[in-house]
Amino acid sequence: MKAFNLLLLLLLSLMLSACSNNITIKLNAIDAEQIAPVKVHIFEHILAQPYLIETKNTLFVVDPGAAGNEKMIIEKMQQLGRKDLAFIFITHSHFDHYGAAAALKTKYKVPVIIQKEDALAMAAGETRLPKVNGWGYVGRFFLPLGELLWPPGKIKADIFFDKEFNFKRFGVDAIALHTPGHTPGSSVLVLNDKFIFAGDLISAKRGKPTVQRFYADDWSQIAESFYKVKTTEPELVFPGHGKPVSGSEFQKLVPVVIPSTE
Ligand SMILES: [Zn+2]
């Protein structure tokens, strides 16, 4: 028990001292449509990392991350002298991806967009991890602690979509594609046909990209969704956790085949 308490304490201090560095990547996206470079601000975090994306006309967030992360996003927007957030896109209804959305929505009065299958769980402030594998058991064990430390704001989405969503109405060349598996409503955002914000379809924690292999609602759908994204031949993929993955690294990835039962 003592060892367990020590482990818990160590884990807590690790979590609470989580770094909040942010880095900016300029994407090579200068073409007729997009005459200003796209900038992606990545907020490193022990849990999912938020993305604030600047295009020529639009500023938007992909996965604001766990509750409390709104502070670093607001701070960054203040540094940029921007208040014109256009929308918040959520890749899936896990607390470490949507937890800060409610606070941002309240501040900027912007629509929150999610695939319809995940909308209910997000509105209930839930995180469902129905099938886990390997280290996923540890993650599920610590889920209540994570939700206690970063209680997610319950949030009703303003826009739901089914198979696909086009962001043209916001003046941005992007679409969302339904890529179920990790959760029933997981989706990715494809920007300028070549940059993908992949949520937890892939992960690159500790620098090693992999297709999701710890948590799934349906393992077989993860493989299907991965191949769907692969055919878009992205130039760069931004995972929910970890560093950006190059197109060639992404093409080399192979989903692990895991039976769809626990
Ligand atoms: Zn997730």
pLDDT in tens, 12-55: 545 544 445 788 888 765 444 555 678 999 998 889 999 999 98
CATH number at residue 242: 3.60.15.10
Separation of 216 CA from ligand 1 center, angstroms?
9
pLDDT above 90 covers what percent of the chain? 68
In a domain, 158, yes or no: yes
Separation of CA 186 and ligand 1 centre (Å): 9
Separation of CA 215 and ligand 1 centre (Å): 7
Question: Is there a domain that residue 261 lies in?
Answer: no
Distance 7 CA to ligand 1 centre (A): 24
For 44, the domain range is 2-252
Residue 151 lies in a domain: yes
Position 201 confidence tier, pLDDT thresholds 50, 70, 90: very high
Distance 127 CA to ligand 1 centre (A): 8
Considering only CA atoms, which of 182, 221, 224, 218 is closest in space to residue 203? 182
Answer whether residue 231 is part of any domain. Answer: yes
Q: What is the pLDDT of residues 61-107, one digit of tens each?
A: 999 999 999 999 999 999 999 999 999 999 999 999 999 999 999 99
DSSP letter string, 173-201: -EEEEE--SSSTT-EEEEETTTEEEEETS
**Taking phi first (over 0 means left), then psi (-120 to 50 degrees means alpha), and beta for anything else, what does residue 17 get?**
alpha
Residue 87 lies in a domain: yes
d(CA 110, CA 121): 20
Residue 24 in domain = yes
Distance 94 CA to ligand 1 centre (A): 5
Distant-in-sequence, close-in-space partners of 74: CB < 8 Å, separation ≥ 6: 104, 107
The reply to whether 258 falls in a domain is: no
Which of the four pLDDT bands, split at 50, 70 and 90, describes residue 156? very high
Structural domain includes residue 257: no
Question: How many angstroms does the Cα of residue 74 sit away from the middle of ligand 1?
Answer: 23
Number of structural domains (the chain) is 1
Residue 4 has pLDDT above 60, yes or no: no
